Structure 1
Amino acid sequence: MKNRFDLIIFDWDGTLMDSVDWIVHCIQQAAARCVCPVPEAQAIRDIVGLSIENAIQQLFPDQDGETRQKLAADYGKAFFSKQISRDDLFPGVYEMLEQLRSQGYRLAVATGKKSAGLQAAINATGVADLFCATRCADQTASKPNPLMLDEIVAELGVDKRRALMVGDSVHDLQMALNAQVASVGVTCGAHSAATLRQYQPLLCLNYPTDLIGII
Structure 2
Amino acid sequence: MRPYDLIIFDWDGTLMDSTPSITQAMQQAIQQLQLPPLSDDTVSHIIGLGLNEAVSTLYPSLPPARLQQLGQYYQRNFIQQQTRPQLFPGAADFIKHLFEQDYLLAVATGKSRSGLDSVLTQTQLAPYFTTTRCVDECPSKPDPTMLKEIITELGATAERTLMIGDTSHDLMMARHAGTSMVGITHGAHSEEKLVACTPDYITHDLKQLQTWLQKISLC
TM-score band (shorter)?
Answer: over 0.9
Match of 1:158 in 2: 156
Give the C-alpha shift of residue 152 in structure 1: 0.5
Corresponding residue number in structure 1 for 2:58: 59
Q: Rate the CA distance shift 1:84–1:158 in 2: closer, same or farther, 3 A.
A: farther
Aligned to 1:75: 74
Partner of 1:141: 139
Note the aligned Cα RMSD (angstroms): 1.2
Give 3-state SS (helix, strand or coil) of 1:81's partner: helix
Residue 213 of structure 1 aligns with which residue?
211
Matches within 5 A, 1:174-213: 174-213=172-211
Aligned 1:82-161 pairs, distance under 5 A: 82-85=81-84, 88-161=86-159
Q: CA offset at residue 213 of structure 1?
A: 2.7
TM-score (norm 2): 0.94
* Matched length: 213
- For residues 164 and 207 of structure 2, what CA distance do their matches in structure 1 show? 11
Q: Which amino acid aligns with 1:146?
A: P
1:79 deviates by 1.0
Q: Which runs of 5+ in 2 are unaligned?
A: 214-219
Equivalent pair of 1:166/1:208 in contact (CA under 8 Å): no
Residue 194 of structure 1: how far off its partner (Å): 2.1
Aligned residues with identical type, % of pairs: 40
Structure 1 CA distance for aligned equivalents of residues 190 and 31 of structure 2: 27
> How big is each residue's C-alpha offset from its partner over 1:11-53, in whole Å with a ceiling of 9 and x where there is no partner?
0110000011111100000011112123210101111110010
Q: Alpha carbons of 1:123 and 1:82: their partners in 2 closer, same or farther (altered >3 Å)? A: farther
- Cα contact 2:90–2:206 (8 A) shared by 1: no
Q: Report Cα offsets for 1:67-89 as digits up to 9, x if no partner.
A: 11111011111112234435x00
Matching residue's letter, 2:116: L
Give the CA deviation at 1:211: 2.0
| Superposed displacement of residue 122, structure 1 | 1.1
Q: Distance in 1 between matches of 2:105 and 2:83?
A: 22
Please give the secondary structure, in 1, of the residue aligned with 2:122. helix
How much does 1:209 deviate?
3.3
Alpha-carbon contact 1:184-1:205 (below 8 Å) kept: yes
**Partner residue in 1 for 2:47:** 48
Deviation at 1:195, TM superposition (A): 1.6
Partner of 1:13: 12
Query: Letter of the aligned partner of 2:95 in structure 1?
Result: L
- 1:38 & 1:131 partners in 2: Cα distance? 39
TM-score by length of 1: 0.95
Task: Give the partner amino acid of 2:75.
Answer: G
Report the Cα offset of residue 210 of structure 1. 2.1
Letter in structure 1 aligned against 2:21: W
Q: In structure 2, what residue type is equivalent to 1:131?
A: F
**How far off its partner does 1:110 sit?**
0.4
Instruction: Tell me if the contact between 1:135 and 1:148 (Cα under 8 Å) persists in the aligned partners.
Output: yes
